[in-house]
């Protein structure tokens, strides 16, 4: 499961579809609707939110917005109606790690996209995250 801390606009088509599917699975886990992945480390940050299901639903809404921007047809009705306006922290180290991880994937899957993204002056997080100082998150498996 890879629930990116990076802005969904950076992902290629395969990455955005995977993010959508995996985050829907995360939402099901947080709602208690599945037995698998209950202890997945990437869910820690959503569980730390005051309203975990609402936090993951907000995350999904931003992914859906990106899908609409690209002309994809993700089913918005699959997102919980729970609303949340908070922010979750993500460390600079985690964001940098994920950036490198994405660049490695794009080197194989979409070299042109990678080349364009390498010109980005800063790395933007997914809108639900606020960047804080720190190393790679403790739950990450580098």
| Residue entry with tokens 């809404």 | 61
pLDDT digits (tens, 9 = 90+) for 51-91: 999 999 999 999 999 999 999 999 999 999 988 888 999 99
The Cα-based distances of 16 to 25, 32, 73, 100 in angstroms read 14, 24, 12, 17
CA 27 from chain centre, in angstroms, equals 12
pTM, 2 dp: 0.93
Q: What is the pLDDT at residue 84? A: 85
Q: What is the pLDDT at residue 1? A: 57
pLDDT digits (tens, 9 = 90+) for 122-137: 999 999 999 999 999 9
| Residue entry with tokens 């498996």 | 141
């Amino acid at each position: 499961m890879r629930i990116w801390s990076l802005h969904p606009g950076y992902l290629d088509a395969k990455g955005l579809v995977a993010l959508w599917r995996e985050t829907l699975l995360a939402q099901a886990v947080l709602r208690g609707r599945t037995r698998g992945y209950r202890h997945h480390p990437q869910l820690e940050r959503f569980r730390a939110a005051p309203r975990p299901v609402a936090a993951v639903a907000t995350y999904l809404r931003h992914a859906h917005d990106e899908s609409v921007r690209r002309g994809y047809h993700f089913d918005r009705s699959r997102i919980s109606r729970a609303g949340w306006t908070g922010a979750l922290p993500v460390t600079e180290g985690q964001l940098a790690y994920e950036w490198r991880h994405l660049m490695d994937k794009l080197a194989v899957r979409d070299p042109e996209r990678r080349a364009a993204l390498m010109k980005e002056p800063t790395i933007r997080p997914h809108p639900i995250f606020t960047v804080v100082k720190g190393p790679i998150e403790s739950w990450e498996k580098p």
